[in-house]
Structure 1
């Protein structure tokens, strides 16, 4: 994007937008504020919290998250070893606060995950836990699950140990500051090791045949008199940090598979028809997929600053479909893979923000330390796929609707203005003279503005990857609709 930041017009009061966001909350029935019973249960859980059986607070952990984050699930301390590396990865010990069958267990199962809106965050746990006593804040001693993952010199896993312990983060970093320090050769040993290990894990991903989608981010952020859309490519450190999380999820899946109990994040491989269509699209868009490269290798060659290559990346995203949660129940391991990662994988590293991670951590801790899985945990595992599907659908609906609203709000006073755009998906179907059937068969196309991180629908004829000039016909924040007409 040539201009990744779009600001809502300052001459319009943010209150109008806040009213629209409040209406969106009511329309989509987002979770309500925690009631007094839930807040009291959080206070009781904190008051009764016992120290962990081990103490690793002498290790100088650090966190790296988006700027301003307060619900810190992960902290790390990296070591260079004689035969490779040791990744000490601490994950917030949420099960220490949320006992199976408790009030907090009931409340969090009803929510499923944290919901993110431009004006507020709707937490999975009461803030006393998610942003206070359970968060791995700098300078605070906290309970955590400590994953000690040993890697060889190529970044491959050679050993995994898991304990419940006390840790203390020494520093809270944000991605942009940390990346700048690393670029200026002032990152210190820990950031240098993160980059080194992250690069090795990316190579391991390539060797597995895995793939990463590096699409530009699009987020809504508050500003003084309203909100803005922010779009930008993930920083290298974000990629490296994500690889540490993926590493842990792969290790967790291995533990659960070896013991025959647990829950995995799964995704089927694209079918041959979809892959053939994608291959043909890359040719038509001028960047043919050389079959000597794996799917993941090819995606890493794409430059999303090129509009046509951006379209290819969007088309690639359509192949990553069917993600789900599956309870381990004697299936063939190949049927439990996460195809994009090209390995069995479990959501493990965000228990403050995602329900399923709490249960994965419980399973892994018990199994890694040779303890039996209690029946109430087995029963909970069976419920989790349905709970997570329901909450993911709801959270995605809210997030997408909020972005659509902000985009329409930003553009509402630019009706009639011309823009350059890249077509993501062509319009399909016609009315065919049948008013009852035609509407169902027709579908507007989708496009991405070249100069601004905004997508919208269009009428007219244009193929994916085509650069077009469009005029804005509709931008309605109330209905969250944006429509463009393609100009000849």
Structure 2
């Protein structure tokens, strides 16, 4: 098993609780090693494209690389996605292993990878300077950022440079950004405008992050930056293009979310009124949420309540028919997962469908045969990933606060139901329960820490 630095307390108990092991059977490792030496003569040469990657610091499993350029009055996006179909043989030992895993599970002190590192952090990753097989999307958009046409084919690519979000932001500000990123802000903003027009729901909630801190860990709060949002819009653009290819061909696997029940929208309107947020009748939820300042406590509270609009996501498989549910309500359009195949199983199958359809070929039988089982595999791995992520956050919150029981803190009331509320501390950034309190959402109050149990991973506050 992966172990934390011997001088730092780690997350072994979380791994043990959820039976997580990063190791792979010897037959799987041997097959991955053989696949790593495979040649890719059928791929066209696209190594001249000035692609770059944007990923969190330290990431080695790089799924996407992009280059954005002007095309007349519009834009052309070159988006290269790691081509796992060129490495994973159908129904081999490796294929069977990753179908059982579903996705990569991330912990603060390591990860449980979907694929062996020789692939996911090596020859299949879009590392800078390395010639790598990819599914290369060409996405043409008009002057308003609307998609006009999309194509995908297998190609050999070479990333020029690796950036993180802060690095892109700094490069754009000081004028050192490469040409491939120079117009990213423009198309990113246009795509976001189109999303609001469609009715896409964007929740600008900051991310809780766990970072190493000497012998232990600390919590940090990372607001979603504009670069984050622009990068996500390119991925969403690709996913929507993939969904259209699948729907036009009558075969595929979509990421879907049903429209929220009317009661959820009514609840959100009541919450907005109680928080003092004006919501004109002609404005829909997407437009309202997009216009809120995420730094204001009442906006954070409404964002938390708006998560009610995004419940029930799943995968919809279809073959020879049009699915009854074909859209993702949060995106307000049909959408498919195809941009993270190193880390998510379903993306490899979605990509194979798109490659076949765009080439005018039949979708391979092994892909069609696998489709019915994908929703269950992905649902199970999604549940596991969410549980592990919550357990790690809960663990670090308890570690950070264990010697501060009895102290008081400022907290924002995010959600209040009955005699229990969910509150958000900004220093340290903690989301926890506040017991025996009927509290007004969106208000900043004083709370007292009554429990920080590292063994139970439980933190509880009460109103001071």
Shorter-chain TM range is: over 0.9
Q: Is the 8 A contact 2:212 2:218 kept in 1?
A: yes
Partner of 2:450: 473
Partner of 1:7: none
Aligned pair in 2 of structure 1 residues 331, 409: CA closer, same or farther (>3 Å)?
Answer: farther
Which residue, 389, 399, 415 being the options, matches 2:379? Answer: 389
Pair 1:452 & 2:400 matched = no
Pair 1:403 & 2:393 matched = yes
Per-residue deviation, 1:375 = 2.4
Pair 1:275 & 2:252 matched = no
Partner of 1:230: 220
Pair 1:17 & 2:29 matched = no
Partner of 1:290: 280
Partner of 2:339: 349
Partner of 2:349: 359
Aligned pair in 2 of structure 1 residues 14, 213: CA closer, same or farther (>3 Å)?
Answer: farther
Per-residue deviation, 1:469 = 1.1
Partner of 1:482: 459
Aligned pair in 2 of structure 1 residues 337, 265: CA closer, same or farther (>3 Å)?
Answer: same
Per-residue deviation, 1:331 = 6.0
Per-residue deviation, 1:188 = 4.0
Per-residue deviation, 1:189 = 2.8
Per-residue deviation, 1:16 = 6.8
Per-residue deviation, 1:181 = 1.7
Per-residue deviation, 1:32 = 4.1
Per-residue deviation, 1:124 = 0.5
Most deviating of 97-106 and 184-193:
184-193
Find the residue that maps to 1:335 and give its secondary structure.
coil
Partner of 1:94: 84
Per-residue deviation, 1:427 = 4.6
Find the residue that maps to 2:251 and give its secondary structure.
coil
Pair 1:338 & 2:315 matched = no
Partner of 2:292: 302
Give CA-to-partner distance per residue, 1:349-379, whole Å, 9 cap, x none: 0000000000000000001111112322111
Q: Is the 8 A contact 1:263 1:328 kept in 2?
A: yes
Find the residue that maps to 1:308 and give its secondary structure.
helix
Partner of 1:463: 440
For 1:1-400, what aligned pairs fall within 5 Å after superposition?
Answer: 17-18=9-10, 21-329=11-319, 335-400=325-390
Give CA-to-partner distance per residue, 1:428-469, whole Å, 9 cap, x none: 26xxxxxxxxxxxxxx32111143310111222223223221
Which structure carries more relative contact order (alpha carbon 8 Å, separation 6+)? 1
Partner of 1:441: none
Find the residue that maps to 2:175 and give its secondary structure.
coil
Per-residue deviation, 1:324 = 0.2
2:39, 2:97 → 1: CA distance? 19
2:269, 2:39 → 1: CA distance? 55
Give CA-to-partner distance per residue, 1:147-180, whole Å, 9 cap, x none: 0111111111111111101011111111101101
Q: Is the 8 A contact 2:207 2:224 kept in 1?
A: yes
Q: TM-score, normalised by structure 2?
A: 0.95
Consecutive unaligned residues in structure 1, runs of 5 or more = 1-12, 430-443
Q: TM-score, normalised by structure 1?
A: 0.91
Per-residue deviation, 1:333 = 6.0
1:51, 1:229 → 2: CA distance? 47
Per-residue deviation, 1:212 = 1.3
Q: Is the 8 A contact 2:317 2:323 kept in 1?
A: no
Give CA-to-partner distance per residue, 1:394-430, whole Å, 9 cap, x none: 011001100000011000010110011122222526x
Aligned-pair Cα RMSD in Å = 1.6
Per-residue deviation, 1:329 = 4.5
Give CA-to-partner distance per residue, 1:273-305, whole Å, 9 cap, x none: 110011010010011322332321211111222
Query: Number of aligned pairs?
Result: 459
1:470, 1:351 → 2: CA distance? 44
Give CA-to-partner distance per residue, 1:283-336, whole Å, 9 cap, x none: 100113223323212111112221121111111122210000000246656721
Partner of 1:440: none
Find the residue that maps to 2:188 and give its secondary structure.
helix
Which residue, 397, 414, 417 being the options, matches 1:424? Answer: 414
Find the residue that maps to 2:9 and give its secondary structure.
helix
